Amino acid sequence: MGTVCHENHGKRVAAARQCILSGEQPMIETFQRLLPNGITLSCRASGDAGRPVMVFLHGFPEAAFIWDPLLEHFARPEHGGYRCLAPNLRGFERSSAPAEVEAYKAHRMLQDIQQLVASERADGTLAALVAHDWGGAFGWGYANAFPAQVGKLVIINSPHPATFARELRDNPAQQQASAYMNFLAQPGAEALLAANDYRRLWRFFTLMKAGADGHGWLTEAVQQQYREVWNAGLTGACNLYRVTPLKPAAPGEPPPARTAPPRERLTVDVPTLVLWALDDTALLPGLLDGLEDYVPDLEIRKVPGATHWIVHEQPDRVAREIEAFMQRR
């Protein structure tokens, strides 16, 4: 198990220097965790083993490192002293990346999370599950499948499957906003994404003002972190788009046939905070409509002026919202 005193996203040089000069223990651990199902997850963690566990799940095209500020924050005693764990999902960074599309079905991804949690706590319980984008898709599923094991659920710009299916069926604006999913699902998408120093991938960020003329978080240091992640391969990430039935119709094709799952597969009986950045051009606010029908214990916090990449843009705001939610009940 390795540990590093991590310079977070190019913005925490002073904090890293203080960590070194003060002789404090490094805050971020990095390690590989072999699970009983044979998958290895590359993980980042902070906080003492044995403490209540918070798990953080990333999305596409991100990786576990995006959570470093929150891992450090919630590991500190004054913010709860949690054991904070952020895995790279299967197919991302140095985690196992099976080539088969079927290996990325939701139940297999949920099994990874369940076995990872069990490796930290024998009773399999989580104080909180925090999840963004694709991580949120699995967060919704995990809280549905294992409600007794999840104390709190925090979803950040990730649609509930029922409202997503409705909006893909009925809302032309969301259909257009989600059209990129078909591009990512096509054969050979990996090579197209990797071409010209990942030019197409950078556009996922810069089209939502990530550069110096906008929110400013996409520094050269952060770009290099992403290159290291993407250099490990993109097939696993693209397989998430290939395997999901929740996509808009491809151009010239009829809408995909979907069988609605039974309601009990959609309800989430866990106290839930949904943090939603309103300038997300991929996931529109209509996805929040009717969410309370599936999540009875629900708080929604809308954040104007933030985009899909709110975890990069406003990590302090995200931490404050989560901490307040954890303390309210």
> Residue 17 has what pLDDT?
30
Q: Is 80 helix (H, G, I), strand (E, B) or coil?
A: coil
**Interatomic CA distance for residues 4 and 60, integer angstroms:** 24
Residue 35 contacts residue 119 (beta carbons within 8 Å): yes
> Residue 216 has what pLDDT?
97
**Interatomic CA distance for residues 10 and 122, integer angstroms:** 36
User: Can you list the domains of the chain with their CATH numbers?
Assistant: 2-328 (3.40.50.1820)
Alpha-helix runs per DSSP H in 104-188: 106-120, 134-145, 161-170, 172-177, 180-185
> Residue 253 has what pLDDT?
82
From residue 125, give the alpha-carbon distance in Å to each of 112, 120, 122, 147: 15, 9, 8, 10
From residue 8, give the alpha-carbon distance in Å to each of 22, 24, 71, 208, 329: 18, 16, 11, 21, 31
pTM of the model: 0.92
**Interatomic CA distance for residues 282 and 157, integer angstroms:** 10
In DSSP terms, 34 is beta-bridged to 40
> Residue 19 has what pLDDT?
39
> Residue 13 has what pLDDT?
30
**Interatomic CA distance for residues 205 and 191, integer angstroms:** 19
> Residue 258 has what pLDDT?
73
CA 256-182-227 angle, to 5 degrees, is 150
Q: Is 277 helix (H, G, I), strand (E, B) or coil?
A: strand
Q: Return averaged pLDDT per consecutive 10 residues of the chain, 329 residues in all.
A: 37 36 62 98 97 98 98 96 98 97 98 98 97 98 98 98 96 97 97 98 97 96 98 98 94 77 94 98 98 98 98 98 93
The beta-strand segments (E) located in 23-165 are 28-34, 40-46, 53-57, 83-87, 128-132, 153-156
Which residue type, as a one-letter code, is found at position 166? R
The pair of three-digit structure tokens given for residue 225, joined into one six-digit string: 């972190």
